[in-house]
A and B are shown apart, each in its own frame.
Chain A
Amino acid sequence: MSRLQQFGYGCRDSLAMIVGIVPFGLIYGALASLAGLTLWQALGMSLLVYVGSAQFIAISLLTLGSGALVILLTTFVVNLRHVLYSAALQPYVGGLPQRWRLPLAFGLTDETFAVVQRRYLARGMADYGQWYHAGVALALYLSWVGSSLVGALLGQSVPNLAGWGLDFAMLATFIGIVVPALRNQPQIAAALVASAVALLCHAWPYKLGLMAAALSGIAIGVWLEQRQTRMSNGEAG
């Protein structure tokens, strides 16, 4: 099977994800315009940063008037989950030359991971796996950048767009990601504790309450998971 064919299969298997990405790109672009970013800045963030969730959060933090340091810290924490993806794909991508690893790392989003992981698990690197991966990454990248651009143009030309409450799309997206992940007690506890701390500390300067909330949630999740492991080990022994 040829490289080009695999590249094409990658693009084809990305279609379902593209249907999900385009509305967010549109909304991101519109919100970025409303937050006061120029067309080039809104587009530049999609081109260079390329991470939907953190871009949404950065925009809402900018709207709330947060400082750059807080936004960068938040970007770091929100993106930490990509370490998991990087670790999961390491056995396949780790052996490729640098000129492959750099662009594939740049394109490693939630959606890219979801599509390529299925292929890697089924067939590994057989039949030009990296070309399939490249097809997925490029198709998803272009759909994100393209829809961001259209959204930013809409944001600048449609009057009163700010009054619609488009930012709810971000909340709905995050709910759609979090709720299905609440499959066990530690995950549920992490969500509850993080929410409670975030509400209690929302008035802290520079949105530092978000950091406190995230760290509290992670700590409680890890603590409960370890307690469960100890208890089940105790029963087994």
Chain B
Amino acid sequence: MEVWLLILGMALITFAIRYSLFAFPDLRFPPLVRQGLHYVPTAVLSAIVLPGMLIPDGQQWAFNSENAYLLAGVVTIAIAALTRHLLATIGGGLLVFFALRALLGQLPV
């Protein structure tokens, strides 16, 4: 039940944001807010990516050569910087990640 309430809440929030400016065709945001919006994706996603690489289980720092999330993450960042292509980044990143996990003997097979 709680999960359904969460889903409904997320749906309402998401729709309200998407509908915001379609609902009020004359609405304009102040320049400061518009400026701030440009940094939202970068700030939020970076704040998820770095901890995901360095603290993969959400508890312990894993700054070591056994951490495939960290190693593959660095390679993925390099691929993204060089190709600037989303699919190439995801495909290449996943390939490197699973290759590393296999080499490190971390796959459940």
Taking a contact as CB atoms closer than 8 A, the residue among A89, A199, A221, A226 that contacts B38 in the complex is: A221
* Inter-chain contact B93/A175, CB cutoff 8 Å: yes
* Inter-chain contact A20/B87, CB cutoff 8 Å: yes
Taking a contact as CB atoms closer than 8 A, the residue among B6, B19, B36, B73 that contacts A58 in the complex is: B6
* Interface residues in A, total, Cβ within 8 A: 90
Query: What mask results when residues 40 to 82 of chain B are scored 1 for a CB within 8 Å of chain A, else 0?
Result: 1111111111111111001000000000110011001100110
* Interface residues in B, total, Cβ within 8 A: 68
* Inter-chain contact A217/B4, CB cutoff 8 Å: no
Max chain A Cβ within 10 angstroms of own Cβ: one of B7, B20, B69, B90: B90
Taking a contact as CB atoms closer than 8 A, the residue among B17, B22, B25, B68 that contacts A104 in the complex is: B22
How near does chain B come to A209, taking the closest CB pair, in angstroms?
Answer: 8
The yes or no answer to A230 lying at the interface (CB within 8 A) is no
- Which of A5-13, A118-126, A149-157, A159-167 lies at the interface? A159-167
Max chain B Cβ within 10 angstroms of own Cβ: one of A23, A41, A87: A87
CB contact under 8 A between A198 and B46, given known A168-B69, A225-B35: yes
Residues of A within 8 A of B (CB): 19-20, 23, 37, 41, 44-45, 48-51, 53-55, 57-58, 60, 64, 68, 71-72, 75-87, 89-90, 93-95, 101-102, 104-106, 108, 160, 163-165, 167-182, 186-187, 190-199, 202, 209-210, 213-218, 221-222, 225-226
User: Can you name 5 A-B residue pairings with CB atoms under 8 Å?
Assistant: A50-B11, A82-B14, A168-B73, A177-B41, A193-B43
